């Protein structure tokens, strides 16, 4: 049998992709806000070159560096600190002009809060102060005058569009998490071999069925006769194949509002709702007959039979365990009487 290689999932591998688009959008909008508010001076050309490189080259370099890193989450945290340093520097290059400075620092602050919570926000704030000090000491920007309408308007796209884009990314992430939660919930209630309801979920269903008003309802325990011999003669994989095929036969015999569950090993449990004993017996007999006629797919003349014990819900049952025990007693009677039959509790 060929070996199947399993790829270990790297922690935080999806983070660079999630951060890439917001960073590109945010820095493009940030370029507009900073460009129209840069103070003229001897270092204006150098600062403008740094601004262009940071806003239009850095997002792609950061993405590639994180994707290629063996620890992408740690690499992305490093990138966020570089962002924090850069916005502090450009805030200083604008002479700490209140509106654009607050806008770009808030943009990076939202990124840090979304990525690492309050701790990363505070660490990023400290790095931004360091970048501000570098700009203030190195560039010695002059005093900021009264901003013009154009300078104010240059900040509006960043203040309006970036929070909306970040909100959209959060919405997409939340939707994916909700879908994954639903999938995990389904998996936690499903038997991996047969695809049927598993034992834990069955117990919950029985409790809910009993706690309500069960009305005419039947619970049945189904046992594959001499299943151990199938495993011993043909192997456990063949036994699993038999169980999977029997599961499909059982599902074909019940209705949409009924439940078929894997009870454990070679035993199944069936909940038939809104039936009397005669109707339930017809369903269970059909199940037994079809199982005995099915092709196991093993290439050998093997026709597994079923012993079935069933119990109609009775007011004297104090809880779902007593109801299930009644079906279990009927199952043992079916086995004692020769197997391959349906027996109802008295």
* 155 lies in the same domain as 20: yes
Residues in the chain: 346
Question: How many separate domains does the chain show?
Answer: 2
* 169 lies in the same domain as 234: no
- pLDDT values of the chain reduced to their tens digit, one per residue, 346 residues: 344 334 445 566 778 888 888 889 999 999 999 999 988 876 889 999 999 999 999 999 999 999 888 888 899 999 999 999 999 999 999 988 989 999 999 989 988 888 888 999 999 999 999 999 999 998 887 767 677 888 889 899 888 888 888 888 788 888 888 898 888 888 888 998 999 999 999 988 888 887 776 678 899 999 999 888 888 888 888 889 899 999 999 999 999 999 999 998 899 999 999 999 999 999 999 999 999 888 766 666 677 899 999 998 876 766 888 888 999 999 999 999 999 999 999 7
Residue-wise pLDDT tens digits, 271-288: 999 999 999 999 999 999
At 282, list the tokens.
């017809």
Transcribe 273-303 into DSSP letters: ES--HHHHHHHHHHHHHHHHH---SSSS---
- Residue 193 is assigned to a structural domain of this protein: no
- Residue 7 is assigned to a structural domain of this protein: no
- Residue 298 is assigned to a structural domain of this protein: yes
Among the listed residues 159, 105, 161, 107, the one whose alpha carbon sits nearest the alpha carbon of residue 131: 105
* 136 lies in the same domain as 101: yes
- Residue 4 is assigned to a structural domain of this protein: no
The residues near 121 (Cβ < 8 Å, ≥ 6 apart) are 109, 112, 113
**Dist. CA 253–CA 294, nearest whole Å:** 13
Distances (CA, A) of 137 to 38, 44, 89, 237, 267: 16, 15, 10, 74, 78
Q: What is the pLDDT of residue 1?
A: 37
* 31 lies in the same domain as 178: yes
Residue-wise pLDDT tens digits, 223-243: 999 888 888 888 888 889 899
* 203 lies in the same domain as 177: no
Q: Which residues form the domain of 179?
A: 15-186
* 242 lies in the same domain as 314: yes
* 165 lies in the same domain as 212: no
pTM of the model: 0.62
* 27 lies in the same domain as 166: yes
């Amino acid at each position: 049998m060929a070996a199947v290689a399993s790829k270990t999932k790297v922690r935080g591998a999806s983070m660079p992709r999630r951060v890439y688009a917001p960073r590109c959008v945010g820095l493009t909008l940030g370029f507009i806000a900073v460009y129209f508010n840069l103070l003229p001076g001897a270092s204006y050309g150098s600062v403008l070159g740094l601004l262009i490189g940071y806003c239009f080259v850095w997002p792609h370099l950061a993405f590639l560096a994180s994707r290629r890193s063996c620890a992408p989450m740690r690499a992305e945290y490093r990138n966020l600190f570089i962002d924090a340093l850069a916005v502090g520097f450009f805030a200083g290059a604008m002479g700490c002009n209140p509106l654009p400075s607050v806008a770009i620092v808030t943009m990076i602050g939202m990124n840090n809060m979304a990525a690492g919570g309050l701790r990363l926000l505070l660490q990023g704030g400290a790095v931004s102060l360091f970048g501000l000090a570098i700009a203030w000491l190195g560039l010695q920007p002059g005093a900021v005058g009264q901003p013009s309408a154009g300078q104010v308007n240059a900040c509006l796209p960043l203040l309006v569009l970036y929070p909306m884009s970040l909100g959209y990314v959060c919405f997409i992430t939340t939707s994916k998490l909700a879908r994954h939660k639903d999938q995990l919930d389904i998996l936690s209630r499903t038997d991996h071999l047969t695809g049927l309801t598993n034992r834990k979920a069955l117990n919950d269903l029985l409790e809910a069925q009993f706690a309500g008003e069960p009305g005419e309802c039947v619970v049945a325990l189904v046992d594959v006769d001499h299943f151990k011999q199938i495993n011993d003669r043909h192997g456990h994989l063949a036994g699993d194949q038999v169980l999977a095929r029997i599961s499909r036969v059982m599902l074909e015999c019940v209705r949409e509002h009924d439940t078929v569950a894997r009870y454990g090993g070679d035993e199944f449990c069936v909940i038939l709702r809104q039936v009397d004993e005669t109707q339930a017996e017809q369903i269970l007999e059909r199940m037994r007959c079809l199982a005995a006629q099915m092709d196991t797919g093993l290439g050998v003349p093997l026709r597994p039979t079923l012993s079935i014990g069933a119990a109609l819900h009775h007011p004297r049952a104090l809880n779902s365990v007593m109801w299930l025990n009644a079906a279990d007693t009927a199952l043992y009677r079916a086995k004692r009487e020769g197997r391959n039959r349906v027996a109802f509790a008295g």
